[in-house]
Amino acid sequence: MGIQEALVPFGERVKLADYDAGYTGGYAKKSDVKALVKANLARMAELQELMFAEGKHALLIVLQAMDAGGKDSTIRRVMEAFNPQGCHVVGFSVPTELERGHDFLWRIHQHTPPLGHVAIFNRSHYEDVLIVRVNGLAPEEVWQERYQHINNFERLLADSGVTILKFYLHISKDEQKKRFQERLDRKDKNWKFNPADLETRAQWDSYMAAFEDVFARCNHPWAPWYIAPANRKWYRNLVISTAIVEALEKLDMRYPPAPEGLENIVIE
């Protein structure tokens, strides 16, 4: 099954309420997609090696979600396919004093992947038009300008050989409540519960509106957004891994030519 339903249409405004966070593409259970995900991960590993060898492309994966949306588990379950030597994961939290002394993209740009490599952003530059907007951390005239700054930044990356894939992990408010409760009930999950997350939960509608503006204003063929149904983690993994494989295969990468004279070498 394809993933076109997850790809946000270009030039259109979408409503997250129209997307079913529990959608599973007709599959009933995890075992139905296990072989498909396994094949995708194997192919991701092959394509990463090819990308590293060719050295003409890079891959940037952006993960955004509401709290408990599954960014960490996506990194564990999907991105495990990548060789760590050619892949790095960056989590963006509250900017440091040094970072606040620069433009908002300064701390982001230094973590973008060099050619041949993969970078995975756990949160990203989009926080500056999400949490900053919802909580009024900057004047509206400031964050309104950032959409175009982001578009220009991503276009620069794309023109420099970086394939950009952006995933919004779409969970329902009920599913978030369930995951929060699990963090309260399980001692091995207590450390993940942050009471401040409840304040963000109370702003749910404001965040949905902010995400919808992101999809409308920062979604382009060179940096597409996917709304990945994420209530069922196993289906989320299928959607994301399929999107990655399809994007990398479109690059039509080739291994570099072998040095001349290999046929004459004899290893004794």
* Count: domains in the chain: 1
Residue 98 lies in a domain: yes
Q: How confident is the model at residue 263 (pLDDT cuts 50, 70, 90)?
A: confident
Residue 258 lies in a domain: no
Which among 195, 200, 222, 197 is positioned nearest to 211, based on CA atoms? 200
Q: Which pLDDT tens digit goes with each residue over 246-261?
A: 999 999 999 999 888 8
**Segment 44-52 mean pLDDT:** 98
- Whole-number average pLDDT of the chain: 95
The tokens for 122 are: 């756990």
Residue 265 lies in a domain: no
Residue 266 lies in a domain: no
Give pLDDT, residue 243. Answer: 97
Q: Which pLDDT tens digit goes with each residue over 132-149?
A: 999 999 999 999 999 999
Q: Which pLDDT tens digit goes with each residue over 19-39?
A: 999 999 999 999 999 999 999
CATH code of the domain in which 129 resides = 3.40.50.300
Residue 246 lies in a domain: yes
Residue 14 lies in a domain: yes
Which residue type, as a one-letter code, is found at position 60?
Answer: L
Residue 268 lies in a domain: no
Largest CA distance in the chain: 71
**Segment 176-198 mean pLDDT:** 93
Q: What residue numbers bound the domain in which 210 lies?
A: 4-250
Distance CA 74, CA 65 (A): 11
The tokens for 43 are: 């192919």
Model confidence, pTM: 0.95
Which residue type, as a one-letter code, is found at position 109?
Answer: H
Residue 136 lies in a domain: yes
End-to-end CA distance of the chain: 51
